[in-house]
Structures are given as C-alpha cells and as structure tokens.
C-alpha cells in the first residue's frame, strides 16, 4: 500500500496550487556590508505582546514588537501548522536570541529596536499589504535605521 | 511574506525571506528566498538547536552578497515532521458523570498552570480562557449529541478560535507532562487529535456541524485540513 502523504505534504500541495499575486518586477536594494547592517525580523506568525491587541481572523494590520519583549502570544488563526513550536522555542520562528549572538560575533552590525508581526492574511489582490500596512511598516523600519529585513512565515 | 518582501525592497530595504512552500516563492519571485523544507510552523527548522538555527541564518544572509536577483536557494537539509504522537499520558477518569473530554480537561489544569507559570504567556484566550475550556468542551459534546449549533451557546461565538484555544490548552499542558519536552513537528498535534478525548471531540463536532448544515467556515478550520 502506498504511504500516506504527511500532513505538511498535503498542505504544501494544496497551498502551492492556489493563485498567488504576481509581480511584474522584483525590486532590488543593495544592502551595506552585513557586519555594518541593522537587521529586523518581520514574521507572519501573528505575534503580539501578552497585554497587546490580538489579531482578528482577516486582520491585515501589524504589531510592533519591542526587541526586549519575549513574552509573546502567537495569535495566528490557521490550524494547519505545528502551533506548539513557538512556545517551545520562540527562536524557531522569531530568532532574536540568534541575532543577538550574531551581533556579539560581529557577523551583523546591530539588531533593530523593534520587530513586526503580520498575520498572514491578505485578500487576493493583496492591496492592503501592498499599499497600506506594508508601506507603513516599511516606513517604521526605515525610521529605525534598519537595513536588512529577515522575513519568517509559520 | 513574499508580498511584504516586494514592498520592503521597493522601499529601499534589503530583504531575505524564508519560505516553507517552494511553489509560492517560485511564482511570487521576491528578491532573496531561502526555501526551507522544514515542518510547517518551524521556519528555522529545529527547536532548542541554536547551531542549526545559526546555519539557517548564515545561509539566508549569504544571499545578501548576490549582485542581482531574484534568487531562490534551497536549504540542503529536509526535515520531515515527526508524526509519532507525543509520549504523554492523559489523566485517568475522575468524575464519571462528566463527559470524558470535560473530565480530561479538568485533570490537565495543573499542568496547564505550570506551563503558564514557566512561560508567562499562553496561546489560550481568543474565545475562552483556561477556566472556560471544560465548559466549552461540554458545549461541543452537546452539539455532537444533537443540539443545534446555533442554539448551543458556543463560547466566544467563533468555532475556529475556540478550537485553537482548546488545542493550545492541551498542547501547553502536554509539554509539562511529557518526558520528551522538545518534540518534533506534529507530535503535539498528533497527540491532541489522536490520543485525547478533546481532540477526538473536536473532530467529531466538525463532522456534526457539517451534518447540521453549518457553513463550511464554521467547521472546516477547527482542525488541520487533512484531519477527518
């Protein structure tokens, strides 16, 4: 009997077939040397501070997360991934301890004072992300002097 | 994430994106992608493994040295989610007058409280807090027993949020009870849906809601799409 595909394989097959927004061009920004760069994390894990505002089911907004804040709730609504991993070790989604170590090692210049979380929601034309919350988040990152954004899904 | 990468890069920020689903990265063509075929929910691959996490970061940041793009590379390691349910005993039956899932949830409360005390935060709380989990399971049992879903008084009014709260309550408690507190991907999910009365009840109520004619969004997202 053929082996049953894993849950992850089924999700990947399903999501991989769905329509995605396509971009006619890919912008390209040359970063400074990594050892001089300020790095921020942006994740779609729907993280928010313990006493902060949670994400609604169709939320396209984002939350700013202080670098020092580690007591975060993962408020993503999807049941289709390992929801326990973040609670076991936040670095597997949101690798701030690893980035701090890279600063100590001189691999990266510095870590941003704020990071950002979205909830992975987007209407088919991704208009809100493209023209509203995405640019607003970019402006906050630039105001903090960020050079490099490391993006993680769940 | 791929849309945000396009937006950020156009705003003069350099980006590196981890993807979990390669086809999405291929088609959306963000500037720099490291595809990681790791368990979903673990974009850096392994919990409590700084060395492996650093390897992912090193490979991702190396893409910043490229002179042009878009570029998509694969992390050389594939990690398949461990599908063996977590080794974790559930509490024995205590009150035979209660529905099995309700009795079980009550028995897990001290473990859940230990988890909350250790971590200081919990994923439970979108529809109900920990105090509300046993009652929520009672409501779900009533739906399975035939109570029309619109009359059942579903706590929080949202079945997906409620199912996520129940699952989080159980999974957080389980990590306090297991002798393998660093499980692989899917082990806690498998334990919840395959070993606990609550997990089986969530799957049963999903079927009951569908049979009662509830709209698909009411029941479909209560459990992973591949569970039946």
Residue with the two structure tokens 């998509």: B72
Cβ-nearest to B223 among A79, A102, A134: A79
3-state secondary structure of B54: helix
From the candidates B2, B3, B55, B72, which should be mutated to test the interface with A, based on the most A CB atoms within 10 A? B3
Provide ipTM, 2 decimals: 0.95
* Residue A12 with chain B: CB contacts under 8 Å: 20-23, 40
Q: What's the confidence (pLDDT) of residue B186?
A: 92
Task: Tell me the count of A-B CB pairs closer than 8 A.
Answer: 267
Cβ-nearest to A81 among B40, B57, B221: B40
H or E segment at B55? helix B50-62
Distance CA A130, CA A125 (A): 9
- Give A33-51 as a DSSP string: PGGG-EEEEEESS-EEETT
**Burial B35-68, CB ≥16 within 10 A → b, else e:** bbbbbbbbbbbbbebeebbbbbbebbbebbeeee
Mark yes or no for CB contact B3/A134 under 8 Å: yes
Residue B34 to chain A, least CA–CA distance (Å): 10
3-state secondary structure of A17: helix
CB count within 10 Å of CB B17 equals 31
Q: What's the confidence (pLDDT) of residue A4?
A: 67
pTM score, whole prediction: 0.95
Residue B15 to chain A, least CA–CA distance (Å): 5
> What's the pLDDT tens digit per position in B44-95?
999 999 999 999 999 999 999 999 999 999 999 999 999 899 999 888 899 9
The encoded tokens of residue B60 equal: 């991702």
Angle at which helices B187-195 and B159-177 cross, to 10°:
110
Residue with the two structure tokens 């089911």: A57
Q: Is the dihedral of CA B21, B22, B25, B26 positive or negative?
A: negative
pLDDT in tens, chain A (154 residues): 456 678 999 999 998 888 888 888 999 999 999 999 999 999 999 999 989 999 998 888 999 999 999 999 999 999 999 999 999 999 999 999 999 999 999 999 999 999 999 998 777 667 888 889 999 999 999 999 999 999 999 9
Q: Is the dihedral of CA A79, A81, A82, A85 positive or negative?
A: negative
Cβ-nearest to A134 among B4, B42, B188: B4
């Amino acid at each position: 009997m053929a082996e049953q595909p894993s849950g992850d394989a089924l999700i990947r097959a399903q999501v991989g077939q769905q329509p995605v927004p396509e971009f006619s061009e890919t912008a390209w920004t040359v970063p400074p040397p990594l050892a001089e760069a300020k790095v921020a994390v942006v994740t779609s894990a729907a993280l928010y501070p313990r006493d902060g505002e949670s994400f609604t089911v169709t939320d396209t907004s984002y939350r700013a997360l202080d670098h020092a804040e580690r007591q975060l709730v993962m408020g993503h609504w999807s049941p289709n991934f390992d929801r326990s991993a973040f609670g076991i070790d936040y670095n597997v989604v949101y690798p701030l301890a690893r980035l701090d170590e890279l600063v100590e090692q001189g691999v990266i210049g510095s870590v941003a004072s704020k990071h950002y979380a979205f909830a992975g929601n987007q209407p088919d034309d991704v208009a809100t992300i493209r023209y509203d919350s995405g640019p607003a988040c970019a402006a906050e990152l630039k105001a903090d002097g960020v050079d490099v954004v490391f993006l993680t899904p769940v | 994430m791929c849309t945000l990468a396009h937006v950020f890069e156009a705003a003069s920020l350099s980006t590196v994106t981890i993807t979990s689903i390669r086809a999405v990265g291929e088609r959306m063509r963000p500037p720099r992608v490291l595809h990681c075929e790791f368990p979903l929910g673990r974009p850096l691959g392994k919990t409590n493994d700084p060395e492996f996490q650093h390897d992912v970061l090193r490979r991702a940041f190396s893409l910043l040295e490229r002179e042009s793009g878009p570029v998509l590379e694969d992390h050389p390691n594939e990690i398949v989610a461990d599908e063996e349910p977590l080794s974790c005993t559930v509490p024995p039956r205590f009150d035979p007058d209660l529905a099995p899932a309700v009795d079980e949830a009550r028995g897990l409360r001290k473990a859940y409280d230990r988890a909350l005390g250790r971590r200081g935060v919990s994923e439970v709380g979108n529809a109900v807090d920990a105090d509300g989990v046993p009652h929520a399971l009672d409501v779900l049992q009533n739906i399975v027993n035939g109570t029309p879903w619109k009359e059942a008084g579903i706590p929080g009014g949202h079945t997906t949020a409620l199912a996520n709260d129940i699952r989080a309550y159980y999974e957080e408690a389980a990590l306090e009870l297991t002798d393998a507190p660093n499980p692989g991907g899917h082990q806690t999910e498998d334990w919840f849906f395959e070993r606990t009365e609550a997990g089986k009840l969530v799957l049963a109520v999903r079927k009951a809601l569908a049979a009662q004619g509830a709209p698909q969004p009411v029941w479909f997202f209560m459990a992973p799409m591949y569970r039946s």
